[in-house]
Amino acid sequence: MAAIAILLLLAGPPATARKPSHADKGPALPAKIPLPQPRPAEAPEDADKAPADEAAPATKDRPAREEVAKPAPPAAPPQSACRAALTEEIAVAPSIPPIRGPGACGGEDLVRLEAIVLPDKHKVPLTPPATLRCTMATAIADWVRTDLLAIADKLGSEPAALDNYDSYECRGFNRIPGAHLSEHGRANALDVRAIKLANGRAITLTDRDVPRELREEVLHSVCARFMTVLGPDSDWYHEEHIHLDLSERKNNYRICQWDVLDPLPRVAPLLPAVRPEEAPPREVAKGEEKDGKDKVDGNGARSKEAPADKADAPTEPSGTASQDSDGRDDDESKPAPPAKPAANKGGKQTRHKSNGSRTVR
């Protein structure tokens, strides 16, 4: 019995009689929730960061995760048939982006024509390079590789360079403000000034000292290939270069206006002869003309009727150098052969003006 009493004392009061303890009410909340401490500078990198071999290298301005999410660039437009045909074996002509504006200027499928490759792999550079549509660049390349190559071969050489005077430029005809858009504004025209050969000779297409046959051969070649050809005497704007373009017109109408001019004379024309000292004064010569009366002959030419008191004066041979109103000789380069004096009928003389001089009939 004593043992049972000791066990009851050790077990404590019954459960129904126990007072609630502080632990039964739950954990007590602190008065202020502490914030996390800032990350120290010497702390190691995050463990969840992707390895360098699994992502693009990260930078301060552009993390690796943003580069992965960047959209792909748009696909390039499909290559045109002209661009596919204009290979490096024909010309050095890299493609350039389309040009848009202002207005209707510019175009698509453009190239920068830097050089033309001859069949023997020699290159004919354009100086400076030309900005052209692919079709116009192809036409220039074909012209140089065939026609100019044959013309230069006759001269014992081959084309070495093409002098580009102008290609793409957003402007009107002949740079006139308000004029219709030029084909230069569409990158569809090229102005050529000269062709240089491998032997050092330069053929300036508008130079009148270049043999006429050579310039005419170039004229026929360009007029057969291009829709518009403008050169000297076409207008005042193409006296120093040749304009070539592929302008589209109704019924494929072509314009070829290039006058191949003859060479200038090497010797200047003869100057007028010096006025002879025995010539009458100019006032006297003019006064003699006033003495006569105007008369119209059967051909409608105006002549002078001599006064009656001078009717018996001897006639002047037609071969002599009589004086006009300015005192100049009729023929200063070659005197006419002497002729018989004209018959004096009715005491009158008829004088006809011819080229500013008087002759007696």
Domains of the chain by residue range:
89-257, 282-360
pTM: 0.56
**Three state DSSP letters for the chain:** CHHHHHHHHHHCCCHHHCCCCHHHHCCCCCCCCCCCCCCCCCCCCCCCCCCCCCCCCCCCCCCHHHHHHCCCCCCCCCCCHHHHHCCCCCEECCEECCEECCCCCEECCEEEEEEEECCCCCEEEEEEEEEEEHHHHHHHHHHHHHHHHHHHHHCCCCEEEEEEEECCCCCEHHHCCCCCECHHHHCCEEEEEEEEECCCCEEECCCCCCCHHHHHHHHHHHHHHCCEEECCCCCCCCCCCEEEECCCCHHHCCEEECCCCCCCCCCCCCCCCCCCCCCCCHHHHHHHHHHCEEEECCCCCEEEECCHHHCCCCCCCCCCCCECCCCCECCCCCCCCCCCCCCCCCCCCEEEEECCEEEEC
Kindly indicate whether the domain formed by 89-257 is annotated with CATH number 3.40.50: no
> For every one of its 361 residues, what pLDDT tens digit does the chain have, with 9 covering 90 and above?
566 666 666 665 555 545 555 555 555 665 667 777 888 777 766 555 555 444 455 565 555 555 555 677 766 668 899 999 999 999 999 999 999 988 889 999 999 999 999 999 999 999 999 999 999 999 999 999 999 999 999 999 999 999 999 999 999 887 888 788 999 999 999 999 999 999 999 999 999 999 999 999 999 999 999 999 999 998 888 999 999 999 999 999 999 999 999 888 777 667 777 888 888 877 765 555 555 555 445 444 455 554 444 444 444 444 443 344 344 444 444 444 444 444 444 443 333 333 333 333 3
